[in-house]
Amino acid sequence: MIRKATMMALAGLAIGPAQAQNPPERQAVLVVAAHPDDELFMAPAIASLARQGRAVTIVFATLGDQGPGVTDFARGPQLGAIRRAEAQCSANALGAEARFLEGLGDGTLAESPQAPKSPALRFLNQFAKAYVEVDPQLVLTWGPDGGYGHADHRMVSAQVTTALQSLADQYRARLLYVGIPAGTLPKVPQMAGWAETDPALLTETVRYTPADLTAAKAAAMCHATQFDESSRQSMMGLFDATIWRGKVHFRPAF
């Protein structure tokens, strides 16, 4: 039933408003993140696109209610509510709209993905509806590596790819995976296990300005339950100096 609903939602593109109805100056961008704070890895790009007049929506699959982060709050609904507010704060700082999927547990997206009503299939169904409603020309998300192998990140990437590859060309948004060019990984213990990508594959970039980086830093400061203050203060500058260097790197999915 969930697969049927998903395909019906995507099929609605063929009978609903055409993507061309979005004025070019307000072309829609859909960013798909597994948890609050995942948007930070492409934050200057989001701020740049929003500053250029794009209508950017960030979809958060889960509320990240299992942490662990740096908070003393117990894992569960209270932490989820706080992290939702942090995600909203971050989206506001970047000039984007935040949208939250419902009923998907943090850390569960890869559980029995083919089972009826599995988290993965419920994600796919809700993503399809969001895609139809936002009607984007561009979708940004994790690559198949999930950044550092996180199962939720990987499942989000796989299901977004599954949904878009089912569409005809005229309804399929450009899908880009964010990546770390090989040799640019910061020399910090927290990122030792992150995946790198051959720069030859990272053929798409989004350049950003100092103002966009400032917006990204403001977004990072929102995530107080996930990172200590020192990390929140420094992470965007660190990524700017090592990985990004003025542009966030992506590779096309198709």
pLDDT for res 24:
45
Helices (H), the chain: 2-15, 43-51, 77-94, 119-134, 146-149, 151-165, 210-221, 229-239
C-alpha closest to that of 253 among 204, 198, 208? 204
Using a 10 angstrom Cβ sphere, with 0-12 exposed, 13-18 middle and 19 or more buried, the burial of residue 247 is middle
Cβ atoms of 164 and 11 closer than 8 Å: no
pLDDT for res 72:
66
Q: Tell me: the pLDDT tens digits for 125-141?
A: 999 999 999 999 999 99
Q: Tell me: the pLDDT tens digits for 39-89?
A: 999 999 999 999 999 999 999 999 988 877 777 667 788 899 999 999 999
Tell me the pTM. 0.90
Which phi and psi angles does 249 have, rounded to 5°? -100, 140
Q: Which residues of the chain have pLDDT under 70?
A: 1-26, 72-73
- CATH number, domain 2-10+24-252: 3.40.50.10320
Cβ atoms within 10 Å, residue 73:
15
pLDDT for res 20:
36
